[in-house]
Structure 1
């Protein structure tokens, strides 16, 4: 029994007998090694080692200076969302799967040691919104997380607010006057 097995191994390993194998590799984005990050705004951060900028895929949140209103009281939704992202990433390793790159910004789905999907958790807390359908970036789980936050009036969904993509971007002159 052992002799036929050894003969088979010798034939397979003989030079010129083996054919090159075709190895299938799925076309999925590679997960980057964990990194430490600094938060830039409510949906973006930078790798402190490489300087690469990442943006959470499929979601948006309040713009800098944007306010929401709850019972006639204004609250800084951009600052709250940014603070949440800082808390979720500060002193923690962050891992990202890059889905695509756009204008030197890596659109990615990212996680930390406490959050398996940062964007999904922001949606669950009501601190982010899914992008509109015309941007074609809806992740089904994100839609469900947003609907749950809406039903329970969490975060932004407890208040009046303008969708982030409808907030005008301040001009350089406006920024310098402030």
Structure 2
């Protein structure tokens, strides 16, 4: 009887502490930093669930090099700069150097927008939430899907192996 009561108390306290844990929200005027990061409240926030070509990465369109990473960064910057963005922090290290957030502008997910417009691919290690948008972007040849490209994570690995840390 005492053991059951103890177990019940432990379960209730864990459930209550999880429910009471406050969500960390960053909100304010944003600026685009690169292909998948924004500046918000003096913090760098990486968009959750996506991977976009690095600014240095090129794709091939019609057999010619195309600065797809730079264009992805421009698209994100154009979308958010000077506008109010709200981010739910998903991952944060102790020193607040790495913040990964699910960010929205006017209620629309920035990650979803990037994938839907072909400027990023869904990061399958984090989510499959954008699979529909990615399939639609690919079918419509939007953004990087209008070109030959290497998946951003593969490109970064190859750059590291060459000794070029992007």
Give the TM-score normalised by structure 2: 0.76
Give 1:1-178 correspondences, 5 Å limit: 26=19, 30=23, 32-47=25-40, 49=41, 51-102=42-93, 104-113=97-106, 116-132=108-124, 135=125, 137-140=126-129, 142-167=130-155, 168-169=158-159
Q: Secondary structure at the match of 2:76?
A: helix
Q: Secondary structure at the match of 2:27?
A: coil
Give the gaps of 5 or more residues in structure 2. 1-12
Distance 1:160 1:31, change over 3 A: same
Q: Distance in 1 between matches of 2:35 and 2:44?
A: 13
Higher-Rg member (1/2): 1
The alignment's C-alpha RMSD in Å is 2.6
User: How far does the alpha carbon of each residue in 1:102-157 deviate from its partner, in whole angstroms, 9 at most, with x for none?
Assistant: 572111110123x610010110111100113xx2x1142x1111011111111111
Q: Secondary structure at the match of 2:86?
A: strand
Give the gaps of 5 or more residues in structure 1. 1-21
Q: Distance in 2 between matches of 1:33 and 1:71?
A: 41
Instruction: Judging by fraction of residues, say which structure has more helix.
Output: 2
Q: Which runs of 4+ in 1 moved over 6 A?
A: none
- In the TM superposition, residue 26 of structure 1 has moved relative to its aligned partner by 3.4
Give the TM-score normalised by structure 1: 0.71
Distance 1:164 1:33, change over 3 A: closer
Distance 1:160 1:28, change over 3 A: farther
Distance 1:154 1:68, change over 3 A: same
Q: Distance in 2 between matches of 1:27 and 1:144?
A: 34
